[in-house]
């Protein structure tokens, strides 16, 4: 299998509205993505309700599944998790 | 990608961790704290190369062992979470923290989790696997289940999480509810009623996943626990008070 790319996504999640405020995509440029991560974290240090996180994956669709806590519409795979 | 250079000695990384831990700042310490933060950020950035290699390794092992792509992602730990960990674990050192870099695979079943785990252990030098935390055999008290491997790339540790779809759904729901209520439930912090509910549910989900039947007692306990968490769930229209 050909080595697939790893794209970086910088998510800014707002706990007040429980929604993503911003997603920046950095493609494969790790250095730029990591620098932007620190810079964005610093910008929001005063606001505990904002969570900044840098996630890398083959696509945003995969991120939506592996880090579904930041996204709506997770499928409740178990009856015990429905309607929580 | 160019490999980030650590611009400080490891000793200074450790000291940076100690400073971030203390964080009771007088005005003359502000510069020191600012520098500690810069060092911690640089230390984290240094893990990005190792992390990328581990993620690629995880992808290929998921494919080799299960014949499917699975879902694989990586993340660098947030600085606030690093600081929080230094607070929570007084013996923790920043220069030896093992989960600054982490990657995760979500695969269909517990059987697939074991296949991926075995593939790592078969195809990776044993001395580069620092530790295996088998949270399927020995779940965390929260109920969290998965397998975590700590592997070394480029002299740096990377945490590899392997979860089944069901285990992942449980963990994600815990994070979401924690976020809504403003509690770090996955670290065991929050109302006992909610922690109890999730621990019971994790047990039942593991039994479901194994193909066995959930006992009547467990089903009854879950029903009772579910009633107790209802008031918390109904209160989540209000913004949470704090979050990490």
Q: pLDDT tens, B78-88?
A: 999 999 999 99
For the segment B101-107, the average pLDDT, to the nearest whole number, is 98
In the structure encoding, which two tokens stand for residue A10, read together? 């910088």
CB contact under 8 A, A67 and B180: no
- Please report the pLDDT score of residue B67 as a whole number: 95
Helix then strand count (H, E) for chain A reads: 2, 3
Residue B97 predicted with pLDDT over 80: yes
Comparing alpha-carbon positions, the chain A residue that sits nearest to B170 is A81
The mean pLDDT of A54-70, rounded to a whole number, is: 96
Query: What is the dihedral sign for C-alpha A64, A67, A68, A69?
Result: negative
Mean pLDDT of B231-244: 62
pLDDT value of position B243? 43
Return the pLDDT at B23.
67
Lowest mean pLDDT, pick from A57-66, B36-45, B94-103, B232-241: B232-241
- Give yes or no for B176 touching A (CB within 8 A): yes
pLDDT range class, residue B239, cuts 50, 70, 90: very low
Does B244 have pLDDT greater than 60? Answer: no
Q: Is the per-residue pLDDT at A83 higher than 60?
A: yes
Q: Which of A1, A2, A4, A6 to probe the B interface (max B CBs under 10 A)?
A: A6
pLDDT-wise least confident of B29-33, B95-99, B104-108: B29-33
Least confident of B7-16, B40-49, B158-167, B202-211: B7-16
Q: Do A67 and B106 touch (CB under 8 A)?
A: no
Cα B236 to Cα B191: distance, rounded to the nearest angstrom = 13
Contacts of B49 (CB under 8 A, 6+ apart): A30, B1, B3, B4, B153, B154
Residue contact A56–B55, C-beta within 8 A: yes
Out of A48, A62, A75, name the one closest to residue B71 (CB).
Answer: A62
User: Is A75's pLDDT higher than 70?
Assistant: no
Single pTM value for the model? 0.88
Among candidates B1, B56, B205 on the partner chain, residue whose Cβ is nearest the Cβ of A78: B205
| Residue A80 reports pLDDT greater than 80 | yes
Closest Cβ–Cβ partner in A30, A37, A67 for B52 = A30
CB of B96 within 8 Å of a chain A CB? The answer is no
DSSP string, chain B: -PPPPP-S-HHHHHHHHHHHHH----GGGHHHHHHHHHHHHHHHHHHHHHHHHHHHHHHHHHHHHHSS--EEEEEEPPHHHHHHHHHH-TT--GGG-S-SEEEEEEESSHHHHHHHHHHHHHHS-GGGEEEEEETTTS--TT----EEEEEEETTEEEEEEEEEHHHHHHHHHHHHHHHHHT--GGGT-S-HHHHHHHHHHHHHHHHHHHTPPPPHHHHHHHHHHHHHHHHHHHGGGSPPS---
Please state the φ and ψ torsions of residue B100, each to the nearest 5 degrees: -65, -40
Instruction: Provide mean pLDDT across the span B190-197.
Output: 96
Return the residue matching tokens 């109302």: B191
Among A44-53, B62-71, B124-133, B134-143, the range scoring the smallest mean pLDDT is A44-53
Mean pLDDT, residues B65-73: 95
Mean pLDDT, chain B, rounded, equals 92
Give the mutation candidate from A66, A71, A83 for the B interface (greatest B CB count, under 10 A): A66
Residue B180 touches chain A, beta carbons under 8 Å: yes
Average pLDDT over residues B226-234: 92
Task: Pick the more confident residue, A43 or B62.
Answer: B62
Instruction: Please state which of the ranges A3-17, B68-82, B98-112, B230-244 shows the lowest mean pLDDT.
Output: B230-244
């Amino acid at each position: 299998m050909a080595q697939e790319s790893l794209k970086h996504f910088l998510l800014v999640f707002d706990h007040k509205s429980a929604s993503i405020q911003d997603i920046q995509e950095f493609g494969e440029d790790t250095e730029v993505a990591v620098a932007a991560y620190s810079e964005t974290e610093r910008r929001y240090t005063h606001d505990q309700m904002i969570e900044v996180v840098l996630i890398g994956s083959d696509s945003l669709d995969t991120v939506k599944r592996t880090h579904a806590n930041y996204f709506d519409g997770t499928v409740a795979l178990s009856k015990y998790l429905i309607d929580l | 990608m160019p490999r980030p250079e650590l611009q400080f000695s490891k000793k200074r990384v450790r000291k940076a961790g100690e400073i971030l831990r203390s964080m009771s700042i007088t005005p003359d310490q502000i510069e020191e704290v600012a520098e500690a933060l810069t060092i911690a950020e640089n230390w984290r950035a240094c893990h990005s190369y190792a992390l990328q290699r581990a993620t690629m390794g995880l992808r290929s092992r998921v494919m080799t062992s299960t014949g499917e792509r699975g879902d694989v992602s990586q993340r660098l730990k947030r600085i606030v979470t690093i600081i929080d960990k230094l607070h929570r674990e007084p013996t923790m050192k920043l220069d030896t923290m093992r989960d600054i870099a982490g990657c995760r695979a979500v695969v269909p079943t517990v059987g697939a989790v074991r296949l991926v785990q075995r593939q790592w252990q078969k195809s990776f030098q044993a001395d580069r696997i620092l530790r295996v935390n088998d949270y399927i055999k020995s779940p965390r008290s929260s109920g969290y289940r998965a397998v975590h491997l700590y592997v070394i790339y480029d002299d740096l540790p990377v945490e590899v999480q392997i979860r089944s779809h069901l285990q992942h759904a449980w963990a994600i729901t815990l994070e979401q509810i924690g976020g809504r209520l403003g509690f770090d439930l996955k670290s065991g912090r929050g109302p006992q009623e909610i922690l109890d509910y999730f621990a019971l549910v994790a047990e039942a989900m593991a039994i479901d996943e194994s193909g066995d039947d959930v006992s009547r007692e467990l089903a009854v306990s879950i029903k009772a626990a579910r009633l107790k968490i209802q008031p918390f769930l109904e209160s989540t229209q209000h913004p949470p008070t704090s979050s990490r």
